[in-house]
Amino acid sequence: TRQLRGFTVEGRRPARQGASILHDGRIVGEVTSGSPSPTLGVPIACGYVEASLAEDAPLQVDLGRQTPDLKAHPLPFYRKDAEKVN
CA distance 14 to 42: 8
Instruction: Tell me the β-bridge partners of 38.
Output: none
For 22-77, the pLDDT digits (tens) are 999 999 999 999 999 998 899 999 999 999 999 999 999 999 999 999 999 999 98
Range of the domain at 31: 2-73
Whole-number pLDDT of residue 84: 53
Whole-number pLDDT of residue 80: 72
Model pTM score: 0.89
Domain count, the chain: 1
Quick check: is 34 in a domain? Answer: yes
Is the pLDDT at 85 greater than 70? The verdict is no
Domain of 36, CATH number, reads: 2.40.30.110
Of 78 and 5, more confident: 5
Quick check: is 54 in a domain? Answer: yes
Quick check: is 85 in a domain? Answer: no
